[in-house]
Structure 1
Amino acid sequence: MSDVGGNNTTTPSGPPPQPGPETGYYGPQEPPQLIWLENASFAGNTMGGICYGMTFVLFFQCVFAIINSPNKDARKPMLLYVIFMFALGTIFTAGNLNLQQHSYIDFRNFPGGGPLGYALSQYSTWRGMTPNVVYTISNWFADGLLMYRCYVIYNMQKWVLVIPGIMFGGSISMGVITLYKSSRPGSNLWAGITVNFGLPYFVLSVALNVMLTLIISFRLLWHSRKYNLSTSSSGVYKRIVSMLVESCALYSLFSILFIGTYAAGNYASDLFLPILSQVQIIAPFLIIIRVATRRSVTDYIHGSSGSGSGYRGGNIVTGEIQFQTTQLSSFHTRSHASGHTTAPSFNTQTAMEDLSNDSFGDKKLHSVGTV
């Protein structure tokens, strides 16, 4: 959302000195607290621009990885998702820069608060609303992708999304109300009535990310322990968990920093909001890249059925995996020859498919490249 605000932006702590050679002061005739807030807003936008540069680089890496993915079915939807998220991040950055240009250059002598006063006055206009809307939409889609991955890895079982679904619905509701309240004439994101809805919105979003990451991680670690996989085999799942935790931690860290300062009405919240707008896009991009390029997985898992996998010339070649039932959630198959229950033939690629392939419930799951 637009990174300007504060509850006490016009409360002076003393009149500024008169500009001139006698005082050596050539700054604006504004209260020191307001000048501090403008500094925070400027610094936050600068850091947000740096983060957008990261988003820009990751976008092209995602596109390259998706185009070169052997899973043709997953290319189009994931490519559209990446392009859509990048477009939202670009619109946010461009909209924020446009608002900053008008605030600090075109209308810097705006009566009643200078640059910051002008920026706050634009919250109910298209110039102020555009960054807020695209921020909220990108947040919903980032959470939605993580929910989809959780849904897939639990074999399309709807019960696993009951609580996350309620939280996601609450996040959407609070987001819509926050947008409405902050866009009312004379209001903004830091207005008292807006904070009452904005704070639950941000808290629900970060809580949902943490919960989904824990649920997915539990599923992978549970499977690893249930079948007493070898050290190298269990390490594959642990590395996948690490991949998810790293991406979640990146978003959670800046969310907590923003939420803490936002709830306290601290001006430092202006430092974290533009960064957070890009981090919530960077996090899913990192997962997509690492899944598509298999960076986090280097070993193979060989099962009892004998269908292994090999690495040839940079391409992962795997065999067919047989399951006794369509319910992959049990993660087991039976040997028709001996009648013993054994773990299925799993390999690295299969583990990654669990995170991103919607053919999870098929009776025969072919190991193909996924994004």
Structure 2
Amino acid sequence: MASTELATQRALYVGNTISSVVYGGNLFLYVYSTYLLMTSVKQVRHRRFYICFGGLLLLLLTIASASNNALCELMWIENQSYPGGPPAYLAANLAAWYNVFGTAADCAANILTDGLLLYRCYIILGSRLPIIIIPAIIYLGSATMAVMMVIESAMPMSNLWQGFAAQFGISWVALTVGFNIIVTALIVSRLLFFHRRVQSIFTDQQKSTYTGTVAILVESALPFTILGIAYLATYIQGVPSATAVGIIWGTFVVLSPQLIILRIAAGTAWSRDTASDITQTTLHASPHVSSSSSSSNTINKNPW
């Protein structure tokens, strides 16, 4: 077996192993956030939507993971004596229905995730429509390229790493990563702006809840964006490690929005009123009044 083919086999194994671990995390987060949404005594807006949305993402991830595992099981166990070995079987079955089905599920999850990120960006930036026009255009272009890639990958003897399918795939990943970079930058800049404003007013707990490191990482989906950049770089180069990075990136497509839903379920996510509440708190804050007492009445109310 050639070194490149062996590296691809390793990448498949590593990618599936790590994605299985992340899948378990996704499953736990969905069950836990659903429990919080169902048992919360506070009124949570769009409670049923987030439960259904998270469940749909988990279902799509399950289909994609099952497809990857089925391909590897057929390649390494059921057809290990296939002429040319596992590399030949992989090349001949990339366009198999179950593999295309898994790719379509991953693309659908990505479209839903980017849609949620666009909505969260709109909320965090004060519901100002002009700011999200460019990200929205990129989002539509990314969704179009994803659909075209799935259609092309279903053609007989098609290959996601070569030909038209690869061209559509690279365009899809590039647009998705570009979209995530823009949205992440907008959200991070907004949260850092408010973080500076509340430095001398909020308690440490209040600052960490709404403008802390965890809030910035989750609300902006920064880890997902960084991983997407790595996937795009390896995909363009066509190196074997792109397979592993792509599989892991596909699981983070669901992990990032599930973390956001968990914050919403816990009542710590940003809402339409959070920015205005912080502004009012800073305007009415007095150096003679305890910061914890002046801000808790405003910002600690349920944002949803």
Counterpart position of 1:368: 302
- The answer to whether the 8 Å contact 1:150/1:215 transfers is yes
- SS of 1:162's partner is helix
4+ long deviations beyond 6 Å: 328-333
Deviation per CA, 1:123-172: give whole Å up to 9, x if none: 33321111100100111111111111122234433212101101101111
- CA, structure 1 residues 63+350, in 2 after alignment: closer, same or farther (shift >3 Å)? farther
- SS of 2:160's partner is coil
Residue 84 of structure 1 pairs with residue 59 of structure 2: no
Residue 240 of structure 1 pairs with residue 174 of structure 2: no
Counterpart position of 2:70: 98
**Displacement of 1:349:** 9.3
- The answer to whether the 8 Å contact 2:152/2:165 transfers is yes
**Displacement of 1:108:** 1.9
- The answer to whether the 8 Å contact 2:208/2:215 transfers is no
- Among 148, 157, 165, the residue aligned to 2:136: 165
- The one-letter code matched in structure 2 to 1:89 is L
**Displacement of 1:104:** 1.2
TM-score (norm 1): 0.68
| Structure 1 unaligned blocks of 5 or more | 1-29, 298-320, 322-327, 334-340, 353-366
Deviation per CA, 1:165-223: give whole Å up to 9, x if none: 01101111111122122222121110133232212211221222222122223334445
Number of residue pairs aligned between Structure 1 and Structure 2: 288
Counterpart position of 1:33: 4
Alignment of 1:43-54 (within 5 A): 43-54=14-25
- The answer to whether the 8 Å contact 2:184/2:222 transfers is no
- CA, structure 1 residues 284+93, in 2 after alignment: closer, same or farther (shift >3 Å)? same
- The answer to whether the 8 Å contact 1:224/1:234 transfers is no
Deviation per CA, 1:316-356: give whole Å up to 9, x if none: xxxxx9xxxxxx879867xxxxxxx946999569769xxxx
| Structure 2 unaligned blocks of 5 or more | 286-292
Q: Equivalents in 2 of 1:122, 1:92: separation in Å?
A: 16
Counterpart position of 2:121: 150
* Cα RMSD for the two superposed structures: 3.1
- Max Rg structure: 1
- The one-letter code matched in structure 2 to 1:77 is F
- The answer to whether the 8 Å contact 1:349/1:369 transfers is no
As a proportion of its length, which structure holds more strand? 1
- The answer to whether the 8 Å contact 2:8/2:240 transfers is yes
**Displacement of 1:118:** 2.1
TM-score (norm 2): 0.82
Counterpart position of 1:204: 175
- The answer to whether the 8 Å contact 1:124/1:185 transfers is yes
- CA, structure 1 residues 123+37, in 2 after alignment: closer, same or farther (shift >3 Å)? closer
Counterpart position of 1:109: 81
Q: Equivalents in 1 of 2:109, 2:13: separation in Å?
A: 23
- SS of 2:161's partner is coil
As a proportion of its length, which structure holds more helix? 2
Q: Which has the higher contact order (CA 8 A, sep 6+)?
A: 2
